[in-house]
Structure 1
Amino acid sequence: MRLAVFGATGRAGRVVVDHALRGDHEVCTLARDPARLRPRAGLRVVGGDVRDPAAVAETLEGADAVISTLGRRRQDGDVCTDGIRTVLSAAAGNMPRRLIVLSNYGVADSRRRTAYVAVSWLLERAVLRDKEHMEALLRDSNADWTIVRAPVLTNGPRTGRYRTGVDLQLSFTAKVSRADLAEFILTELRDNVHIRQSVTITS
């Protein structure tokens, strides 16, 4: 499968790209600094910004599916919202309809009255608001999207022992390794179990 990956220079994105290449997928990524990605067989890197329609369209060309692990940094503003808006616009023609997007637990319909969610919004309000706006764009689109809502991400190994569900409620101890997250994302691309659903993952 040919995959277009956005956010590939981030910590989660790097692991997703590694797992995809080991799974014999072809990967095209978009990076403002292509030198941050190690050249490998099966990997193509387009230089540019995710807010640039031309760069995004080039990244999507020939792709069967899209993965976004975009994350907000202070200097980036609402990069998740802006990025997905650009991707959806570029994909409106003959580009891939299948998107899997990394989000955070505690936004949109997972914004429950729990201590976990309350503290998350207290500490990361700008990040979660960006993710919430991003999710709204996906729900209003015609894409075959899956939103993956994650808790704290760790650098632990792939265990294969994680839980997923559309109604999971997480506690302060919730976490999952980026390796398990990557495995789930690629499994979902293969099996298409959660099309147009938001699914939570935790170890």
Structure 2
Amino acid sequence: MRWWDIEPVLELEKDLFPEDAWSRGMFWSDLAHARGPQATRRYYVAEEESAEAGRRIIGYGGLAAAGDVADVQTIAVAREHWGTGLGAVLLTELLRAATAFECAEVMLECRVDNVRAQKLYERFGFEPIGFRRGYYQPGNVDALVMRLRDPAASLPARETDVPEPDDAHEINDVQGTESNG
């Protein structure tokens, strides 16, 4: 993700997370920590290109690293691409980034009502370890805290080996991973 991606990402963000969307400043702040020798963040966008619409962002994800622990900050996939495996591809890239940052584990928060996202994370080996009451505001929705030990061991051997959805109706919009604080 680059600075010029922020506006289209914000459009997708507001569509998918109308109550607790990230602000422009939050993305700018995280991108400021994604460059240079002291980088602690990694953000990706997924794009599609068409003759009619041109280049369009259809998904994004971000990860923050601190010491040997990484935290999935956000993953989102445009509604028309839910169930395509794009969420798994983005998560794979975030786990590759955690491995490059030499993180021993990856943490995330997921809305307790986002069962489909939880299934995606479980396919990659994430395990629930606790709750954060009222984490998502203003809706006062609890977060399920999940942890993945040894992200390098959870990476697919090849890009074509990304874990498949458990059923054909998998939604790869993993909105519960947003950390708005």
TM-score, normalised via structure 2 length: 0.37
**Higher RCO (C-alpha 8 Å, min separation 6):** 2
Structure having the larger proportion of residues in helix: 1
TM-score, normalised via structure 1 length: 0.34
